[in-house]
Amino acid sequence: MLVRLGYLAAATCFVLGLHQMNSPATARRGNRISVAGMLGAFAATAALLVHAGTVTATAWYVLSAGIVVGAGAGLYGARIVRMTAMPQLVSLFNAVGGGAAALIAVYDVMRFATPGGSLPVRVAAPVALDVVIGVVTFSGSLIASGKLQGVVSTQPVAVPGARAVNVGLGLVLIGGGGYLATGRGGLPVLLIVTLAALAFGATMVLPIGGADMPVVISLLNACTGTAVAMAGFVIDNAGLIIAGALVGASGGILTKLMADAMNRSILSVVIGGFGSGDSDGSAAVGGAAVRATSVDDAAIQLAYASKVIIVPGYGLAAAQAQHAVRELAALMESRGVDVCYAVHPVAGRMPGHMNVLLAEANVPYAQMKEMDEVNPEFPRADVALVVGANDVTNPAARRSGTAISGMPILDVDRARSVVVIKRSMGHGYAGIDNELYTDPKTGMLFADAKAGLTALTSAVKTLVG
Amino acid sequence: MSTQLLANLSMFVLSLLVGFEVISKVPATLHTPLMSGANAIHGVVLMGAMLMAVTADGALGYALCFAATAFAAMNVVGGYVVTDRMLSMFRERPALVRQPGEQGRGRRS
């Protein structure tokens, strides 16, 4: 009874904590409330274990060792990670969460697997769902994490016949999972389903390109939440069901938002193929002339502007240039230039990633403008400074018949002038030419994001003393 | 359909609705901390992993119990610490006076 009240209190804390996330001012307190809830649930569970009295001495050792090892690894990873590497760490934590949820179901099947015996459908159905979703998420998140880290190729890996393999694995999962759900499947079926789920998670994420990562990570997060809720059904634990459902809902919403921001259906992302990774190639824009600009020219434009909108993209994150851009912005601000940042919803590698990077560099969050908020401001901006962003600034999205048609974009081309810092004329993920670059009012500054920004800062300093 | 299953299902559906309601109000600026915080919340699976110990007996049971608790503890501790680290950077600060070039600033938890 007391334990159940403890779980209820924990669940309340989770909801309150998530609720406080709706403003940067209260978000940190929200997270702490959530931690308090988790500690409460932990204490309640520990009390339950002691009270049960059936926990063997070895089990206590195993339990403590597991917690110490896991907590230590988590703490270490969380404290050393760089903000640019955040998505792969979150993805890794997501993987182990899904794995733990699946193990709970596996253990339950083992415990009741007696020859000829069967689980009641009430337990067997969530067991099947838990194993399938949890294991697919586990291997899928590991691959996603590897792709983000660059260990696994970020290019969509296209294996001939991959689709047939996927369909086959999917059928095994549905068939085996369905059989498990009837409660008659024992350990052999469980083993087959687990192996198929491991393979399916990998083959599902491998063909997905880097640009679609924000969608994939959100989706996997939603899946883990669901798997945890299913684990809650298996062991009749309210805490797991409520928390799992909350996370499932949050992941679902983020997935939808991200997919909308890229104008892609969730299904087409999962099926894969479109995102092809940043090509460093020297593909020139066909026919149209590109105006290259020099550091000094760009610096004069910036120094004598009254309003500058900075458009950061993944190139900024990859070059770790968030501090360099902040330095340039601070210099301009000290000269009375009105500076703000236009952040596209899918800038970076996970939802909201760019905002975290800018916050790390001490950019006040009031200066980070969302797409709908900042688009009307572009016509009033003297200079739009695009740093490492590509497809999200391409005016071609407004016309029909291009690869990115209909994708919501930042109206950079409506600014009075545009400076683009970019390493080469290479394509973005969509693999098409960016018409912004051939616009007569656009100057291309060919440089690495960090080097370019640093050069601009010192040029502005020399120019205006 | 047993009452227990019915109760569980009601809880599941209502929590989903609460989740949708609460989270649709979060601004895009906070989406990464939100996801990371939600990620830590599903670390509640640690409780389920701990409960395995009630019946765990024999090498295989212990091994599963160890793996599950280690995974879940990593999820919950790492998730919360990293979220807090991110959110600590979103604190209110004056827009102009900050000295640039604080890259070396130490981490905190």
Does residue A172 share a domain with residue A63?
no
Q: Any idea what the CATH number is for the domain that residue A329 is in?
A: 3.40.50.1220
Instruction: Please determine, for the modelled complex, whether the ipTM score is greater than 0.95.
Output: no
Judged by CB atoms closer than 8 Å, whether chains meet at B102 and A78 is answered as: no
Say which residue, A275 or A334, is predicted with more confidence.
A334
What's the burial of A176, exposed, middle or buried (CB within 10 Å: 0-12/13-18/19+)? buried
Does residue A112 share a domain with residue A2?
no
Predicted pLDDT of residue A272:
58
Residue type, A215: V
How far apart CA A208 and CA A140 sit, in angstroms, is 11
User: Per-residue pLDDT for A282 more than 70?
Assistant: no
Does residue A196 share a domain with residue A58?
no
Does residue A100 share a domain with residue A55?
no
How far apart CA A38 and CA A78 sit, in angstroms, is 18
- Looking at residues A166-194, what average pLDDT do you find? 86
From the list A318, A133, A312, the residue with the least C-alpha distance to A210 is A318
Q: Using CB atoms, which residue from B53, B74, B86 is nearest to A59?
A: B53
Alpha-carbon distances of B70 from A78, A94, A253, B62, rounded to whole Å: 15, 13, 29, 12
Q: Which of residues 16-35 of A touch B (CB under 8 A)?
A: 17-19, 21-25, 27-28, 30-32, 34-35
- pLDDT mean across residues, chain A: 85
- Looking at residues A133-144, what average pLDDT do you find? 94
Tell me if A422 sits within 8 A of A444, measured CB to CB.
Answer: yes
Lowest mean pLDDT, pick from A149-153, A256-260, B33-37: A149-153
**Three-state DSSP class for A418?**
strand
Q: Which of residues 231-290 of A touch B (CB under 8 A)?
A: 231-233, 235-254, 257
User: Per-residue pLDDT for A280 more than 60?
Assistant: no
In a domain, A254, yes or no: yes
Q: Using CB atoms, which residue from A74, A97, A327 is nearest to B45?
A: A97
Highest mean pLDDT among A95-104, A209-218, B3-12: A95-104
Domain that holds residue A324: 295-464
Does residue A231 share a domain with residue A117?
yes
Does residue A134 share a domain with residue A38?
no
In a domain, A287, yes or no: no
User: Per-residue pLDDT for B34 more than 80?
Assistant: yes
**CB contact set of A461 (below 8 Å; sequence gap of 6+):** A331
Q: What is the DSSP letter of A445?
A: E
Domain positions in chain B are 30-91
Name every chain A residue with its beta carbon within 8 A of the beta carbon of B41. Answer: 14, 17-18, 34, 38, 243, 246-247
pLDDT in tens, A407-421: 888 999 999 999 999
In a domain, A263, yes or no: yes
Distance from the Cα of B69 to chain A's closest Cα (Å) equals 5
In a domain, A285, yes or no: no
Does residue A137 share a domain with residue A57?
no
Q: CB under 8 Å, gap of 24 or more: what pairs does B55-59 form?
A: B55/A54, B55/A111, B56/A55, B56/A56, B56/A59, B56/A62, B56/A107, B57/A56, B57/A59
Report CA torsion sign: A395, A399, A404, A406. positive
In a domain, A158, yes or no: yes
Does residue A367 share a domain with residue A454?
yes
* The two structure tokens encoding residue A79: 């404290």
How far apart CA B3 and CA B15 sit, in angstroms, is 18
Q: Around Cβ B6, how many Cβ atoms within 10 Å?
A: 10
Does residue A243 share a domain with residue A153?
yes
Tell me, yes or no, if B6 comes closer than 8 A to chain A by beta carbon.
no
Does residue A110 share a domain with residue A193?
yes
Q: Which of residues 46-75 of B touch A (CB under 8 A)?
A: 46-57, 60-62, 64-75
Predicted pLDDT of residue A225:
94
Predicted pLDDT of residue A283:
40
Tell me if A38 sits within 8 A of A10, measured CB to CB.
Answer: yes
Q: Which residues of A12-37 are buried (b: 16+ CB within 10 A; e: fewer)?
A: ebbbbbbbbbbbbeebbebbbbbbeb
How far apart CA A204 and CA A212 sit, in angstroms, is 13
Does residue A256 share a domain with residue A121?
yes
Phi, psi dihedrals of residue A76, rounded to the nearest 5°: -60, -50
- Looking at residues A272-277, what average pLDDT do you find? 45
Q: How confident is the model at residue A346 (pLDDT cuts 50, 70, 90)?
A: confident
DSSP count for chain A of H helices, then E strands: 16, 6
How far apart CA A425 and CA A25 sit, in angstroms, is 40
Q: How many domains does chain A have?
A: 3
User: Per-residue pLDDT for A196 more than 80?
Assistant: yes
Helix locations, A182-212, DSSP H: 187-205
pLDDT in tens, B51-85: 988 888 888 889 999 999 999 999 999 999 999 99
Does residue A247 share a domain with residue A103?
yes
